[in-house]
Amino acid sequence: MTLDIPELERQHRELQLPSADLDDLWRLGSLIVAEARARDLAVTVDIRHGEQQAFHAALPGTSADNDHWARRKAAVVRRFGEASYLVGERHRAANRTFDLDPAHYAAHGGSFPLLVRGTGMVGTVTVSGLPQVEDHRLVTDCLARYLAQQR
């Protein structure tokens, strides 16, 4: 089941972190990995703070292809400042082809901007290995859980 554009825009507004230092990102990445392991999911998790790789985990059943997908999805987030799934859905809704070089960009679900309240985007959090809606949901569900733990 897909998510509609208003829901994706709501996630963008609401899933903003109070801070995002390297320790914060380690905790977020560890939470995503723990959830993936609990559900026996074969995913790669990649978190970047700016251009620095702050967290990376490749769970059993993944391959280097998942790293490539993660890089391409995160490139979309860096370019547009919004979730890779939202960018793709906007193109599909407008009946437009996403025409950036597919060797470098993938407007498929699974990468979300790391947004810090009052600061803006400071990086990306990306999951690769599941169908795009499930990749996106794993990221956003874990971001929501992480935020709830911070309150």
DSSP codes joined into one string, the chain: ----HHHHHHHHHH-EES---HHHHHHHHHHHHHHHHHTT---EEEEEETTEEEEEEE-TT--HHHHHHHHHHHHHHHHHSS-HHHHHHHHHHTT----S-TTT----SSEEEEEETTTEEEEEEEEESS-HHHHHHHHHHHHHHHHHHH-
pLDDT tens digit sequence for 11-31: 999 999 999 999 999 999 999
pLDDT tens digit sequence for 106-150: 999 999 999 999 999 999 999 999 999 999 999 999 999 999 998
| pLDDT for 1 | 64
pLDDT tens digit sequence for 64-96: 999 999 999 999 999 999 999 999 999 999 999
> Which residue ranges make up each domain of the chain?
5-150
Q: Which CATH superfamily is domain 5-150 in?
A: Haem-degrading domain (3.30.450.150)
| pLDDT for 22 | 97
